[in-house]
Copies of this chain bind each other. A is one copy, B any other.
Amino acid sequence: MDFKGMLNERKNEIEKLIDCYFAGANAPQKTILDAMNYSLNAGGKRLRPILVLEACKLVNGKKELANDFACSIEMIHTYSLIHDDLPAMDDDDLRRGKPTNHKVYGEGMAVLAGDGLLNYAYEKMIHASLKYPEYAEQSLKAMKEIATGAGIYGMIGGQVVDLESENKSVDLETVDFIHKHKTASLIIASMRSGAILGGADDKELNLITEYAEKIGLAFQIIDDILDIVGDQEKLGKDIGSDQENEKSTYPSLLGLDESRAIARRLIQESKDAISYFGDKAEFLIELSDFLASRDH
């Protein structure tokens, strides 16, 4: 299979959907539409929306319904990056090789652009749910996964503990909590919502969840590793920033070799879980390997 080609195809599909969300607006609130559009279309791997659609496909679900949920998760991911980059948070000037949202539109507008993306994600999901009333309960259940995964007991909870751990060394349990909540939580919600929209049974949902948990944690450990050994140009952001901030990470606590071994094991376990789906899981198995080998 031509994995890279398929990955690109899926990425383009998502970008075509979100491209028209806030484009060409001539409204009084034009600035926020531009600001939201700027960050939403600033590139990125589109991993989360791809996972929504892939999980839905894996259980032979209805793709039309999942499309809006996929884009909504990308909006939630994007809002979290905009707020994370703010001076009061990580204070980053670059994101994916471009100036961060507040550098272009100012801090106040960046706060509102993040708020706007989070809220619009729900608008889109609610709208999609009303378009297919025969799936109303499934849609509400999928939305529940996303809301929980994105909220204070999920992603935001991870951001809080991350913010409080700045400039001090914390133990592996805390680093683990941050990774599982700040990153893995929304990745798990992506796949669970796609599977629920697709009508997965309990066994299917459990295996898809296991796959998501493993790649979600591996993804963040690999991110920490890349922050030390990565190539600044390829990453599109400052490397070594974790070290500068004296941030505790998997490599800083366990060393590079041990961290790499853990990531490898998680990747293998993700593939074991998803192999239940046979040929249909081919793309996700390749995706695991791809995430393990990425250099940005």
Contacts and interface: CB of A to CB of B under 8 A. Distances in A.
Interface of A: 27-29, 31-33, 36, 79, 83, 86, 88-89, 106-112, 114-116, 118-120, 122-123, 126-127, 129-130, 133, 136-137, 139-141, 143-144, 147-148, 150-153, 156-157, 159-161, 163-164, 174, 177
Contact of A152 (B33, B151, B152): B33
Given A119-B152, A120-B151, A144-B123, A108 B89 contact: yes
Contacts of A163: 108-109, 112
A36 B160 CA distance: 12
B36 A152 contact: yes
8 contacts: A27-B157, A29-B157, A83-B112, A88-B107, A116-B156, A119-B151, A126-B140, A140-B140
Contacts of A110: 88
Task: Quickly give the copy total for this chain.
Answer: 2
Given A126-B143, A147-B126, A89 B118 contact: no
B83 A150 contact: no
B111 A150 contact: no
A79 B150 CA distance: 16
Given A29-B152, A33-B152, A86-B111, 17 more contacts: A27-B157, A28-B177, A32-B152, A36-B152, A79-B115, A86-B108, A88-B106, A89-B108, A116-B152, A119-B147, A119-B151, A123-B151, A126-B144, A127-B144, A130-B140, A136-B140, A140-B140
